[in-house]
Amino acid sequence: MELVRIIGVGLVTAIAAVLLRASKPELSFAVTVAGTVIILLFAVDLFAQSFGIFSEIGAATGIDSSLIRTILKIVAIGYLVEFAAGIVEDFGAKSVADKLVLAGKVIIFTVSVPIIRGLVALIGGFLELI
């Protein structure tokens, strides 16, 4: 049901933006931003509902909850940056969208450093056993 709502908002937003683009471009921009925010809120709500599942997986496997939170942050950053870059590109600023994607990759790398550190320590521990 959520998918139908998200698709519906997307289609209505796209049609309204296209119809308004010729006569009132500033209103077309506002409609696009509003529709995008609504879609993003729906997606965030669905994403928040899945947090419980990931905590259950972490408890069942013994994986540290901070590791699961970090992985979820990385996924969320990737989705949000890609979403924002798509919007920026739709408004004709491809170079800005490219820089936004680059910044998102840098942020993802920065957030993932603790995971990389833990992985290197784990591999080092295995090598000491040999």
Q: What is the pLDDT of residue 61?
A: 81
Question: Would residue 115 count as lying in a domain?
Answer: yes
Q: What is the pLDDT of residue 47?
A: 76
Q: What is the pLDDT of residue 71?
A: 87
Note the pLDDT tens digit of each residue in 16-75.
Answer: 999 998 888 889 888 988 998 899 888 888 877 777 787 788 788 877 778 888 888 898
Q: Does one domain contain both 75 and 19?
A: no
Asked whether the predicted pLDDT for residue 103 surpasses 90, the reply is: yes
Q: What is the pLDDT of residue 60?
A: 84
Provide the number of structural domains found in the chain. 2
Domain hosting residue 97, numbered range: 63-130
Q: Does one domain contain both 74 and 130?
A: yes
| Over residues 1-21, mean pLDDT | 90
Q: Please, what is the Cα angle at 58 between 128 and 105, to 5 degrees?
A: 75
Question: Whole-angstrom Cα distance, residue 46 to residue 28?
Answer: 27
